[in-house]
Structure 1
Amino acid sequence: MQTQPLLRQTKPMNTPVIDQTKLESFVMRAIGDLSASSGGILISLGHKLGLYKALAGAGPLTSQELADRASCAERYVREWLNGQVAGGYVQYHAVSSTYELTPEQAMVLADEDSPVFIPHAWSVQASMWFDEDKAAHAFRSGKGVGWGEHHDRLYCGVAAFYRNAYKGSLVAQWLPALEGVVEKLEAGIEVADVGCGHGHSTLLMARAFPKSRFHGYDVHQPSIQEARGLAAEDGLEGNAEFEVARATDYPDRKYGLICFFDCLHDMGDPVAAAQYAAKVLSPDGTVLLVEPFANDRTEDNISPVARLYYTGSTMLCCPHAVSEGGHMVLGAQAGEARLAEVFRKAGFSHFRCAVKTPFNLVLEARR
């Protein structure tokens, strides 16, 4: 008498049926993500070694020509170039065995003043890997990780990445979208930049509006020191100053404008921060709130940008908010409705979205 194979006898009744096509599709998606993340180190190296800058505007170059321009070893440069071609970051001309950076690629990879310059962002990703054990401990314990506890690559990466985005939009688009704010800045008002980091946003405004006085506040002492140095380099010490302070205890100067640039969602008590802003705001003052773009529902936040923001939120934003007590941990994908509720609770009667981009929500609040 024949018996069934042992595997069939012991196979669980609820074993799922695997759709091979779906499996292969998902595996290739995961491999694509792995490929993209591994390419990040080559992008960072290309920036630090000056390879992108040496390619930009030079026309087709051989690997040896690029190596000579960047003072690097040809064999390494050739492998790096082929990796860039494989990822679509550099063009390859097979007939001449040469490599070329298009003007569009140069804007993203070689022009450090471009609003879409990306290499600095990879320092942020690197810092997250360095801090993986801290994140795992936070997950298990429920405790926070303060901003100052992260790897050093985080601070320069964040500051440099946001500097270019703000440089392209803050003075030219975001401030003019607020009701009457540019006119007040031109006449001269006190401005608070809360959570200013290295002070790039503060200094951009100080340069554009010399009659106003700008005050940058942050809890991270090394960032404030860096901001002071940048202000001195730019000759802006006359109308820009920086102090270590929290979002609930910076000096009361009856500000005509209070700014929160990509930071309110990091705070342990955003309602308290908004309440304090209401307290130190002049009667006709405005709050400018810039936050990562997000829709209000999870099912509407399915995109590469949302995934990027959720990652940063998991590793950086939520841990810092928890470290500050975690009264309301908004996360980087809070959305307009939740942010409006924060300001409603803080006593503001006016709240609107002034500008919406694929990357930012620019919001205006008044008492």
Structure 2
Amino acid sequence: MQDDAKTFQDKMVDVLNYGSLNLAMGLGYRAGLFDIMDTMNRACTADEICGAARLSRRYVQEWLGVMVCGEIVELIRGEDGQPRFFLPKSHGDVLARRAGSGNLGVYTQEIPLLTACAMERVFQGFLTGDGISYEQYPDFHDFMAQLGDAKHRQVLVDSFLPSVDDGRLVQALHRGIDVCDLGCAQGVATLLMAQAFPTSRFTGIDISAEALETARAGACEKSLPNVCFEQRDAAGLRHPNDLSARFDYITAFDAIHDQTRPLEALQGIHEILKEDGAFSMIDIAAESDIDGNRDHPMGPFLYTVSLMHCMPVGLVDGGAGLGMMWGRQLAERMLEQAGFWRVSVMEIPNDPFNLHFFCRK
């Protein structure tokens, strides 16, 4: 029993150290410090790092203390006795923005941002059971656009879309089809697809007016005539409407688990698909039973993101509150309930976080 108590005490020390390390890494990522040290590719003094980053020396010095103690950055004492700091290339491979779809550094911002946005409201939710509206997460939604950019820019057009339906989808996109990106947020994926396939027509749908303003500005900036954005609630599309049977292909990137009425949203997608149209639902790779996620390498992280954001926004107005970890089994059942007659579940190239649920109407 004494050994168990000591082991758990050691674990608590790790929790406190790694939680603190994550906060400091999030700040360093936002400030561009990992990118700067990665580009320098040598051991540098604190003054050299601050000069390149144009940041306060005292703050950077303290940050370097965290990084050295956390074994993220190496401290090398020069012949002059002055400390120098080095970010190994293998660390830059996952922390710097150049890592693209393999960038884990970007995720260090997620928990600190959610804490700043919503910690008190989530605590109140424990007492009341109330959800939290999207409007309470403005900084977090900007981060999600940044994350989407990091994930999609290298993977979506070059890797994911060519893998769909054994390449037949890309052939159709080049010929020209109607595509809907549901839950498009600020339109990162929608705009990338519209840019890559100018003969196809793209419609981004989201419930957030503010996010759609950003998406429309992006379309204007890129001069994309083949894309438009509409503010709609996906659940409201399940009955016959002006979009019924309009789209050849629909995508939903990590969007369904945030819906207040996810089954109705899936029924809405089924309604606006053409006969034999295809739907790609990209969502978290998890099991529906907590027990099945015990060995998930990022289980605590993903459940925490869900607790702080995905579940509360899904509880608004008495919603389902699925949460991010709703899991494969429940997802498959709901897709079948929504009317999809063939559902294939597969891993996604270069994306260990998500599964691809490929469905036919």
TM norm. shorter chain > 0.5: yes
Question: Where does residue 10 of structure 1 map in the other structure?
Answer: none
Which residue of the partner structure matches residue 183 of structure 1?
Answer: 171
* Offset, 1:95: 4.6
Farther off after superposition, 66-75 or 189-198: 66-75
State the alpha-carbon separation in 2 of the partners of residues 69 and 174 from structure 1: 36
Residue 134 of structure 2: aligned partner: 147
Matched, 1:108 2:99: no
- How big is each residue's C-alpha offset from its partner over 1:38-92, in whole Å with a ceiling of 9 and x where there is no partner? 2233223323433223212311111222122223343432332221122122222
Distance in 1, matches of 2:90 and 2:196, equals 28
Residue in structure 2 matched with residue 34 of structure 1 by the alignment? 16
Q: Which residue of 2 aligns with 1:79?
A: 62
Compared CA separation, residues 249 and 296, structure 1 to 2 (3 A): closer
For residues 159-198 of structure 1, the aligned pairs below 5 Å read 159-179=145-165, 180-198=168-186
CA RMSD, Structure 1 to Structure 2 (Å)? 2.1
Structure 1 residues 273-292: aligned runs within 5 Å: 273-292=265-284
Structure 1: which 5+ runs fail to align? 1-18
Counterpart in the other structure of 1:5: none
Query: 1:173, 1:218 → 2: CA distance?
Result: 25
Moved more, 92-101 or 133-142: 92-101
Deviates more, 1:31-40 or 1:203-212: 31-40
Residue in structure 1 matched with residue 310 of structure 2 by the alignment = 317
Change (3 A) 1:65 1:329: closer
1:38, 1:233 → 2: CA distance?
Answer: 39
Instruction: Specify whether residues 45 and 128 from structure 1 end up closer, same or farther in structure 2 by C-alpha distance, changes over 3 A only.
Output: closer
CA displacement 1:203-246 (0-9 Å, x = unmatched): 1211221111111111111111111122223332x122222111
Contact 1:123 1:154 in 2 (8 A): no
- Report the equivalent of 1:13: none
Q: 2:45 aligns with which of 62, 65, 71?
A: 62
| Whole-angstrom distance in 2 between the partners of 1:163 and 1:324 | 30
Q: 1:176 to 1:341 in 2, by over 3 A?
A: same
Question: In structure 1, what is the equivalent of residue 334 of structure 2?
Answer: 342
How far residue 307 of structure 1 moved from its aligned partner, in angstroms, is 1.6
Return the offset for 1:119. 4.5
User: Which structure 2 segments of 5+ residues have no match?
Assistant: none
1:243 partnered with 2:237: no
SS state at 1:56 partner: helix
Larger radius of gyration: 1
Q: Which of residues 206, 210, 213 is equivalent to 1:218?
A: 206
Separation of aligned partners in 1, 2:36 and 2:280: 39
Instruction: Point out the more displaced range, 73-82 or 136-145.
Output: 73-82
How far apart in 2 are the matches of 1:335 and 1:47?
Answer: 30
**How many angstroms does 1:120 deviate by?**
4.1
Aligned residue in 2 for 1:358: 352
Whether contact under 8 Å (2:73, 2:87) holds in the other structure is yes
Q: Following the alignment from structure 2 to structure 1, what is the Cα–Cα distance between the partners of residues 12 and 222?
A: 45
Question: Which amino acid letter does the alignment assign opposite residue 104 of structure 1?
Answer: S
> Given the superposition, is the C-alpha separation of residues 297 and 49 from structure 1 closer, same or farther in structure 2, using an over 3 Å criterion?
closer
Among candidates 293, 300, 306, match of residue 292 of structure 2: 300
- Write out per-residue CA displacement over residues 312-357 of structure 1, whole angstroms, 9 at most, x where no aligned residue: 212211212211432x432211222211111111111000113255
Greater fraction helix: 2
Residue 262 of structure 1 aligns with which residue?
254
Moved more, 139-148 or 191-200: 139-148
* More off after superposition, 31-40 vs 119-128: 119-128
The aligned counterpart of 1:208 is: 196
- TM-score scaled to structure 2, two decimals? 0.89
